Structure 1
Amino acid sequence: MDFIKALTFITEDPRWKEKVVIGAALALFAPLIAPALILLGYALRLTQNMRDGKRPPLPEWDDWSGDLVRGFKLAIVYLIWGLPAALAAIPLFFGAILADSDSFVRTFGVMILVGTTCLTFLYGIFVTLMTPGFVLWFARDEQIQSGLQLSEIFAWTRQHLIEVALFLIAVLIANFVFFMAANVVGTLLCLVGLVITIPLATFVAYLYQFNLLGQIAYKDKTGEMYYPPFAPPAPTTESAGNDPSI
């Protein structure tokens, strides 16, 4: 993966300014849910463009309804994977009640709380590691069931564990840097700037994450890097003949 190119690729698009402004405007209204789903669908199209080798990969804003639908479907996939962690709230609730009791019942309640918390934490790690896999599986045909192929996604994740770990670390660091910079710049602009910088950081974070996913998908598909390392041009016959060392 080319972690730097996953950010600088944005400005290689001839219409990148217009696309970024639209994306940041949607991110500003992301709490309304529909804009957030459109952003998610748009970012998925970026991954698909990367996977298919399209350049420049940044999609046009020409499929709003399609982005809304694919974003909604992908959100459902996220929710289903996170459902077991949500269901853990039930034993946690009863464990908290029992922990307020006396004697043995209290001990039993504490055991439930500790056990459920540990299992939820472990499951959270598991889902985090599986996330790149189920997003790429969903991106194949945009069908919810494709993103739920547990055995296939688990096998892929195990084979690409180093790439998955590097992806997660890169996204974590990038998000920290993007939002730290957004907060600093927005604050320097008398806090009003946060209305611009935070949505901008949100959109860029989407693009960075889904670009990296696209790089992984392209390498899986072709066996090559999407952004090959720079190679200096080979010397011409004329320049080689003028080389005094020859």
Structure 2
Amino acid sequence: MDIGRALTFFTEEERWIEKTAIGVGVILVSSLLSIVLVGLLGFFIVMGYAVRLLQNVRDGVTPVLPEWDQWGDDFVRGFKLFVVQFVWALPIILIYLPIAFISAAVGGSGGDAEAIAVLISLCATCLGIVVSVAYALIQPAITIFFAEREQIGDGFQVAEVFKWTRDNIGNVVIVTLVYVVGGFVIG
């Protein structure tokens, strides 16, 4: 895998600045509006656009960056991908949610109850980190399988998702690390 090309391929396109600026604008507005949940709509649109981008790369379409002309379709596509990713992320949510409830219920009470709550929270956090890393590693496969036909069920091909991830683990780890580091740098 050519990592340099993977990070810069979009700059080879004539209108890459315009298309990237639109995406960044949608994300910024969505971030500001996410307090009232309206902003989630923009994130779904960007997720749908990313699916089209993945399909263009897969199919060898040029220019590889899609036009921003299918907002409704991108919203539907992105919402369906969100549903798939949310279901796959449920184990993480089910690990961390009790930690929040335990902390709120016991917090500041002192004594044995607080010590036990801290121990349970620590163990659950360690488990949550392991499950989160596993989720991060299978997420590319989930998205790839969903993008094939844009059907929610395609994102739940469990055996295929794990097989694809196992067969491509080197590239998946590199992409995941680049994504995480990029998130820290940008954020």
TM-score by length of 2: 0.82
User: Matches of 1:87 and 1:21 in 2, distance apart?
Assistant: 36
C-alpha change, 1:94 and 1:58, in structure 2 (3 Å) is closer
User: Matches of 1:77 and 1:61 in 2, distance apart?
Assistant: 23
How many aligned residue pairs are there? 178
User: Matches of 1:21 and 1:108 in 2, distance apart?
Assistant: 50
Given the alignment of the two structures, is residue 10 of structure 1 paired with residue 13 of structure 2, yes or no?
no
| 1:153 paired residue among 121, 144, 161 | 161
> Which residue number corresponds to residue 151 of structure 2?
143
Structure with bigger helix share is 2
Which structure 1 residue ranges, 5 or more long, are not aligned? 181-246
| 1:80 paired residue among 77, 87, 104 | 87
Per the TM alignment, residue 52 of structure 1 is displaced from its structure 2 partner at its CA by 0.8
Mapping of 1:116-195 within 5 angstroms? 116-177=124-185, 179=186
> Which residue number corresponds to residue 218 of structure 1?
none
| 2:76 paired residue among 44, 51, 69 | 69
2:66 partner SS: coil
Mapping of 1:82-97 within 5 angstroms? 82-93=89-100, 95-96=102-103, 97=105
Per the TM alignment, residue 124 of structure 1 is displaced from its structure 2 partner at its CA by 0.7
Aligned partners of 2:96 and 2:125 also within 8 Å: no
User: Matches of 1:174 and 1:92 in 2, distance apart?
Assistant: 28
Per the TM alignment, residue 62 of structure 1 is displaced from its structure 2 partner at its CA by 1.9
Higher Rg: 1
Q: Give, as a single letter, the amino acid of the residue that structure 2 aligns with 1:30.
A: S
C-alpha change, 1:140 and 1:98, in structure 2 (3 Å) is same
| 2:43 paired residue among 20, 26, 36 | 36
> Which residue number corresponds to residue 237 of structure 1?
none
Per the TM alignment, residue 106 of structure 1 is displaced from its structure 2 partner at its CA by 5.3
Which structure 2 residue ranges, 5 or more long, are not aligned? 32-38
1:33 partner SS: helix
C-alpha change, 1:148 and 1:101, in structure 2 (3 Å) is farther
Aligned partners of 1:77 and 1:147 also within 8 Å: yes
User: Matches of 1:17 and 1:113 in 2, distance apart?
Assistant: 45
Instruction: Work out the percentage of aligned pairs sharing the same amino acid.
Output: 39
Aligned CA-pair RMSD:
2.3
C-alpha change, 1:128 and 1:63, in structure 2 (3 Å) is same
Per the TM alignment, residue 155 of structure 1 is displaced from its structure 2 partner at its CA by 1.6
Aligned partners of 1:91 and 1:112 also within 8 Å: no
User: Matches of 2:11 and 2:133 in 1, distance apart?
Assistant: 34
> Which residue number corresponds to residue 59 of structure 1?
66
User: Matches of 1:156 and 1:86 in 2, distance apart?
Assistant: 24
Aligned partners of 2:77 and 2:150 also within 8 Å: yes
> Which residue number corresponds to residue 36 of structure 2?
none
User: Matches of 2:180 and 2:127 in 1, distance apart?
Assistant: 23
Aligned partners of 2:27 and 2:42 also within 8 Å: yes
Aligned partners of 1:3 and 1:170 also within 8 Å: no
Q: Give, as a single letter, the amino acid of the residue that structure 1 aligns with 2:143.
A: V
User: Matches of 2:18 and 2:102 in 1, distance apart?
Assistant: 52
Q: Give, as a single letter, the amino acid of the residue that structure 2 aligns with 1:161.
A: I
User: Matches of 2:170 and 2:47 in 1, distance apart?
Assistant: 25
